[in-house]
Amino acid sequence: MKVCIVSSRFYPQIVGSGMSAFVIARGLHQLGHQVTVLTDESIKMELSTATGVDFSVKYIRSLETFAVGKTGLKAPLDDLYLHIRKVNPDIIHVCNFMPMSLITIIRDKLACPVVFSFFNTPVIGKRTVGCFSDPDVENSFGAFVIKANAYDSLILGSEYYVKAALCLGANRNKILLSYLAPDITSLDITKSVDASKFFDAGFEDLPYILLPSRITPQKGITDAVKMLSIINNQLDTTYYLVLTGMANPFNHEYATEVRELGEKLSVNEYVLAPRAPVDRTSLAILFKNASLVLIPSWYEGLGLSAIEAQYLRAPLAVSDTVGLSEVVEDGRTGVMFRPKDAYSMSEAVLRVLRGGVDIEEMLDQAQESARKFSIDKHITEIESQYKRLIEKVSIDEEEA
């Protein structure tokens, strides 16, 4: 089966849609399918030295800048159509709304089935695509892509994604729920990591809280900085907050806001940013050695970092919000707090750090819970759906 995956973001990004698209591509390749990924040209140099990319990757001009609303559609649409014609796939799998909008334009020129998945998390009535300034435009554009029905199937990775798609007008009969899963195979805690690559000498001895999210407002980073100030005023031990995303901030303006808040609260010396982007193996060690993993997001499609923490038996505190509530059960597989509330977050963190929960029991339950999020199952379900769609096209052609 010739599979074409279209994604504006891709590996070696270690979070978000880039990682999800990579997991799908690698899994299908390992099953013996001929996979071609179409992604943005900006990662060409970085991807050329990355390991684990044994399938074909073709590059599209300005796909990522189009996906975030900073450029027009001429270059990405030209390249996209050209590559699809050359690949001549049996099926196309499109990741996220903006690339899907391009496919919608040329759908009548494509003979093969199209599958659509989105990994950017819609917040109904406020945010759908993450591209436009006005919530009404966001919602209308998302609904346009969904209602255009330029896809044969929607494969969605969480119950919340399904709910969002239905709110935007999706046909329930086209939806397949297949839970996303993190790439656990790349989180190898048996390897040694030179922490000096990322932090100053002595880091290994510091008690720290790990926040492994991108640096954007909706990830609740400033809430976490406020929390750090609160708990360090109440504990005998001084804790550090490790922000892995600060090595290469997704939102530089917000990163500045984070630093300024840390300075205002006199906690900047306890907020640690890696000197270099953290690779997956090093991230696993950071998870494993953390006193607590913190996910203070305002919303998530599905909390993949939370699942990773559960797999790796790291104590976990998360916002009680969409996506994360599908992963964590308060007091059993982690602790939860109100989103956008530094005081509620502080109470949850202190609950763990002060031994207010049975840590070993919680870690056992969390690790068991995380096993339901399986990459193998996810890829098998996707493959089966592809085969059904391709078979349907063949039957329709025979009947015609």
DSSP 270: G
CATH code for 185-370? Answer: 3.40.50.2000
pLDDT digits (tens, 9 = 90+) for 57-85: 999 999 999 998 899 999 999 999 999 99
- Average pLDDT on 157-161 reads 94
Q: Where is average pLDDT lowest: 2-16, 150-164, 360-374?
A: 2-16
pLDDT band at residue 14 under the 50/70/90 scheme:
low
In which element (H, E) is residue 75 found? helix 74-87
Q: Where is average pLDDT lowest: 44-48, 82-86, 323-327, 385-389?
A: 44-48
Any residues with CB less than 8 A from the CB of 329 and at least 6 apart, and which? 365, 369
Identity (one letter) of the amino acid at 11?
Answer: Y
Strands (E), 53-183: 56-60, 91-95, 114-117, 153-156, 175-177
Q: Which 3 state secondary structure label does DSSP give 136?
A: helix
Which pLDDT score is estimated for 399? Answer: 63
Cα dihedral: 112, 118, 124, 127 (round 10)? -110
- Average pLDDT on 90-104 reads 97
Which pLDDT score is estimated for 334? Answer: 97
State yes or no: pLDDT of 400 exceeds 60: no
Q: Which residue has the tokens 């695509």?
A: 129
- Average pLDDT on 308-320 reads 96
pLDDT digits (tens, 9 = 90+) for 170-203: 999 999 999 998 888 777 777 777 788 899 988 9
Which pLDDT score is estimated for 125? Answer: 80
Instruction: Look over the chain and give the mean of its residue pLDDT values, rounded to a whole number.
Output: 93
Which pLDDT score is estimated for 191? Answer: 74
- Average pLDDT on 47-59 reads 84
Q: Where is average pLDDT lowest: 47-51, 78-82, 206-210, 223-227?
A: 47-51
- Average pLDDT on 191-216 reads 89
What percentage of the chain carries pLDDT values higher than 70?
98
State yes or no: pLDDT of 311 exceeds 90: yes
Which pLDDT score is estimated for 321? Answer: 94
pTM for this entry: 0.87
DSSP 330: B
CB 218 within 8 A of CB 297: yes
pLDDT band at residue 17 under the 50/70/90 scheme:
confident
pLDDT band at residue 114 under the 50/70/90 scheme:
very high
CB 88 within 8 A of CB 109: no
CATH architecture label of 2-181+374-399: 3-Layer(aba) Sandwich (3.40)
As annotated, the residues of the chain forming the CATH 3.40.50.2000 domain(s) are 2-181+374-399, 185-370
